[in-house]
Structure 1
Amino acid sequence: MFNKIIGVLLFFLASCTAAKLSVPTDFSSQATKMHVQGLNGWMVNQQLNFGNYSTSAVKRGWDFNSSIQHTKFNIKPEEMVLRVFDIDTDKRTLSQRNKFQYTIQDGNLVSEIFATEKFTEKQLVYKSNNPYLGDASKTNGYQYAFSAAILPLTAKNNDPWSLVLINKYDAKADTAKGLFDRPYVEEEGYATNGKENIAIRPLRIDKVTTKNGRDTKVFGGKMLTGYELRWDDGVVGIIDIMDNNIWLANNLDDHDRLILSSISSAILLKRMQDVEKDKDNL
């Protein structure tokens, strides 16, 4: 219930403010910005185009969703008090899984991408027999995993790459105390071919600008605006999920640009971006 309230606040906030990813000048001055077309609108035979890159039609598998709910037998003292008010508690597990695949090419080099997205959430459900109270739920924990295999179809440097993004939340380890504090989550993101590693770091903002030019704090914690790609501890790419842009450093060779474009396009195509908020749309 709390997460849904936060989602409403963020929707209201987004409708009256301009949320932008801030790209550092020292990087943007030595990088190329490419706007990604094809992320919005009709998703059948979806194709992306940016810079000199284009994808095949994205083939998506079936979305699998499941919900399992059962009575909670181990009752805590506070839950026993709730039963006095005719409120029972259940455990519920929500799961979602989907996959997609496509190729990306720049006119010369090509790579294939096979991606999978999985999400599982464990909830405690409060059931009331009072129609005026209704039911409510809280998240005890969730785990999100996005993975992709990137296969360069090139004569040289054709080592496959693995892309991994993980986001975990455990209510027992949550250090957030205030009503609008961002919950504590474990995050990890990287791409590797076994020899080289690219770190993928989320970029968030805690302030947005209103239409009249005034800065205001983001309710519900920092807002995810994109991802930073770091190779050999230097920034080589930025993915802007707010305006659908990809920035790549100018000093990259064609093969490296293909790998980074494969990583960036796969991340933009995944269903869930800000997991803490998108999960409420399951």
Structure 2
Amino acid sequence: MVPLAQMLLQFMQRAKLVKVPFSLQSAPIPKPFLPMKRTFFVLALVLAACTTPQMLVDQQLTNQSTPMPVSGRQGLLINQKIRFGHYESEKVQRSWTRSYSMDAFLAKLQDARDKYSFTLFDNDRGAYTIDAVNHIKGAELPVGRFLGSNTSDALRELASFTVQTKDLFAATMYSNSRQEEWHLMLMNRDDIRRNGRYAGLLINNQQQQQIEVLPVRKLQGAKTWGTDIIGYEFRQEDKSLAAVELINKGRVWIDPTLDPNMQLVLASASATLLLQQELELPSEQIH
């Protein structure tokens, strides 16, 4: 046992906070014994080392918005109800709420195992219903459905390698009035192109809007980037609109200067990604 641990045990024993086993009572103590103030300082350092890691978020976004802690994540996808800020979902279903009998592609995916559906509401009872499917091959995805007539560099780049990918996540988000339709397409973490910028896109073809969905791999205070994806950032024209932290219980940031519908769109996409993580399978199970 290292000297620091010995000193902590001896201090706690003297304070009658813990009963030390006899085998440790005879361990040598460095002289002189730490003064009380230094001992509490050591304890503070130990507690600080246990601080929960947090995702690095764009500074401008953190200055403008308040992080919304997520509740309702249970580790089981079925019957979860996601909540954060003034957003709340209905129970998540392992089925889709819409009928795709007239669409051969989506009708085929209705039988997919890794799919789910839910509706997210805001406090004004605005809502988006999301149908999502995980672990599909790019060759099975009609990219034109997501990209529409857009011809931007980001869309062309995404289309150029989507067909070759073996692992895609896709979701369609419908407003409660059915007047707006957004598509989310994302490269899964085991199939993200290493030398490319884009992990995915959130697109509204009717309004010709596109939002980049970029992976975040860096923790606050860390000097280097990690390899694991710990969250995502939504960016448009070099501005961070929102971010979602996947680690711990999860947190969401949304730019409050955006119009309420756009905030709900980003909240719905964030909830979709939080639930997508619950659905993740080990890479060796992906075919």
Quickly name the TM-score band, shorter chain normalised. Answer: 0.5 to 0.7
Q: 1:235 to 1:217 in 2, by over 3 A?
A: closer
TM-score, normalized by length of structure 2? 0.57
Q: Deviations over 1:76-113 (max 9, x none)?
A: xxxxxxxxxxxxxxxxxxxx951000111113201110
Secondary structure of the equivalent of 1:113?
A: strand
Secondary structure of the equivalent of 2:72?
A: coil
Secondary structure of the equivalent of 1:29?
A: helix
Preserved CA contact (<8 Å) 2:199 2:215: no
The residue type paired with residue 279 of structure 1 is S
Preserved CA contact (<8 Å) 2:74 2:80: no
Q: Which one has a larger percent helix, Structure 1 or Structure 2?
A: 2
Q: Distance in 2 between matches of 1:168 and 1:202?
A: 9
Q: 1:246 aligns with which of 248, 252, 259?
A: 252
The residue type paired with residue 114 of structure 1 is D
Q: Distance in 1 between matches of 2:220 and 2:270?
A: 24
Q: 1:106 aligns with which of 107, 122, 140?
A: 122
User: Could you say which structure has the larger radius of gyration?
Assistant: 2
Preserved CA contact (<8 Å) 1:143 1:166: no
Matches within 5 A, 1:154-233: 154=177, 158-167=179-188, 184=194, 188-194=199-205, 195-205=208-218, 222-233=227-238
Q: 1:189 to 1:118 in 2, by over 3 A?
A: same
Shift of 1:26: 2.5
Q: Deviations over 1:138-196 (max 9, x none)?
A: xxx972110000001138xx3201000024878xxxxxxxxxxx994765300111110
Q: 1:169 to 1:245 in 2, by over 3 A?
A: closer
Q: Distance in 2 between matches of 1:168 and 1:255?
A: 29
The residue type paired with residue 54 of structure 2 is K
Residue segments in structure 2 that go unaligned for 5+ positions in a row = 1-48, 97-111, 138-163
Alignment match, 2:132: 115
Shift of 1:23: 1.9
Preserved CA contact (<8 Å) 1:143 1:169: no
Q: Distance in 1 between matches of 2:51 and 2:68?
A: 24
Q: Distance in 1 between matches of 2:85 and 2:165?
A: 37
The residue type paired with residue 23 of structure 1 is V
Q: 1:184 to 1:29 in 2, by over 3 A?
A: closer
Preserved CA contact (<8 Å) 1:98 1:118: yes
Preserved CA contact (<8 Å) 2:76 2:278: no
- Percent sequence identity is 26
The residue type paired with residue 128 of structure 2 is S
Q: Which has the higher contact order (CA 8 A, sep 6+)?
A: 1
Shift of 1:27: 1.9
Shift of 1:238: 0.6
Q: Distance in 1 between matches of 2:252 and 2:119?
A: 17
Q: Which one has a larger percent strand, Structure 1 or Structure 2?
A: 1
Q: Distance in 2 between matches of 1:29 and 1:249?
A: 10
Shift of 1:24: 3.2
Shift of 1:32: 2.5
Alignment match, 2:274: 268
Q: 2:175 aligns with which of 140, 152, 162?
A: 152
TM-score, normalized by length of structure 1? 0.58
Q: 1:280 to 1:16 in 2, by over 3 A?
A: farther
Q: 1:103 to 1:169 in 2, by over 3 A?
A: closer
Alignment match, 1:46: 80
Q: 1:228 to 1:168 in 2, by over 3 A?
A: closer
Give me the CA root mean square deviation.
3.5
Q: Distance in 2 between matches of 1:150 and 1:197?
A: 14
Confirm or deny that 1:55 pairs with 2:106: no
Secondary structure of the equivalent of 2:114?
A: strand
Secondary structure of the equivalent of 2:229?
A: strand
Shift of 1:223: 2.5
Q: Distance in 2 between matches of 1:169 and 1:24?
A: 25
Q: 1:216 to 1:280 in 2, by over 3 A?
A: farther
Q: Distance in 2 between matches of 1:199 and 1:45?
A: 30
Which shifted more, 264-273 or 52-61? 264-273
Number of matched pairs? 192
